[in-house]
Amino acid sequence: MGINLNPFTWWTGASWGTAFGLRGKARVGEDALGNVYYEGGRDTAGNPRRWVIYNGPNDSSRVAPEWFSWLHHQVDDVPTRALPAPRAWQKPAEPNLTGTVAAYRPSGALEKGGVRAPATGDYEAWTPDA
């Protein structure tokens, strides 16, 4: 990110205000996507405050499920210590791919040629005169 854009934007990463706000907070970990997680201070309910600084665009679907549970106080300790190791059959988490070339497109989608399967004949259109 350019030095001129950083003071004013939040959608492409942490602004300078966020960086100053994280002074004195503890860095607790990093996920496979490069997002960094912090903890420090207390909220009004007495729970510890927790943050994520995204490595790239600010998109909450880019938070790994185990870190999501930590951010939302579903587990008390960081995921590497609080959760069991992933199973061999589990796939790694993916961010939301909507709007990208890797998005899911069913066979009838315009991006895949727009050819739908023919109707089976079990549909009869409603008409007001019938």
pLDDT tens profile 12-22: 667 777 777 78
11 within a domain of the structure (yes/no): no
Largest Cα separation within the chain, whole Å, is 74
38 within a domain of the structure (yes/no): yes
Contact 50, 37 (CB under 8 A): yes
State the Cα–Cα distance between residues 130 and 125, nearest whole angstrom.
Answer: 10
For every residue of 87-98, DSSP letters joined together read PTTPPPP----T
pLDDT for 48 equals: 92
**pTM score:** 0.69
112 within a domain of the structure (yes/no): no
State the Cα–Cα distance between residues 50 and 37, nearest whole angstrom.
Answer: 7
What is the amino acid identity at position 23? R
State the Cα–Cα distance between residues 29 and 103, nearest whole angstrom.
Answer: 29
Q: What is the pLDDT of residues 66-82, one digit of tens each?
A: 999 999 999 989 998 88
Question: Domain residues for 93?
Answer: 16-105
44 within a domain of the structure (yes/no): yes
How many structural domains are present in the chain? 1
128 within a domain of the structure (yes/no): no
